[in-house]
Amino acid sequence: SQTIHQWPATLVQPVGSPLSLECTVEGTSNPNLYWYRQAAGRGLQLLFYSVGIGQISSEVPQNLSASRPQDRQFILSSKKLLLSDSGFYLCAWSFNTEAFFGQGTRLTVV
């Protein structure tokens, strides 16, 4: 069965520190993978999506980057976090009309 793992669940990081959030999937190959962010009072917004290894598309300009080093691994990164990067980050993958979601990461930048 298809599963998706995302970690950590919560993270508190100082301004200017780096960030690495990891997402891995099981039970599928060549999935479409997505990173979303939910800022306070807003809905989840697409940050990045990937249709294959090394293929990353960005939807909004930001202080973040994404990488897909392996077929079932999707990483969200930042070299230097800003206060505005605080929020809830969600990894997801889709197959046809089905979608599967990670547990999410609550990031607080202090």
Partner 1 sequence: KNEVEQSPQNLTAQEGEFITINCSYSVGISALHWLQQHPGGGIVSLFMLSSGKKKHGRLIATINIQEKHSSLHITASHPRDSAVYICAVADIYGGSQGNLIFGKGTKLSVKP
Point out which residues bind partner 1 (CB under 8 A).
Answer: 9-10, 32, 34, 36, 41-46, 49, 51, 57, 59, 88, 90, 92, 94, 97-106
Beta bridge partners of 70: 73
In the structure encoding, which two tokens stand for residue 63, read together? 């202080």
Min dist CB 102 to partner 1, Å, is 7
Cβ-contact 105, 11 below 8 angstroms: yes
For residue 101, the minimal CB distance to partner 1 (Å) is 5
Measured between alpha carbons, how far is 22 from 13 in angstroms, rounded to an integer? 16
Nearer to partner 1, 78 or 105 (CB): 105
Instruction: Provide, rounded to whole angstroms, the least separation between the CB of residue 58 and partner 1.
Output: 10
Nearer to partner 1 by C-beta: 8 or 16?
8
**Nearer to partner 1 among residue 16 and residue 52 (C-beta):** 52
Closest to partner 1 by CB, 58 vs 80, is: 58
What span, in angstroms and rounded, lies between the C-alpha atoms of 109 and 17? Answer: 9
Distance in Å from the first CA to the final CA of the chain: 38
DSSP state of 102: -
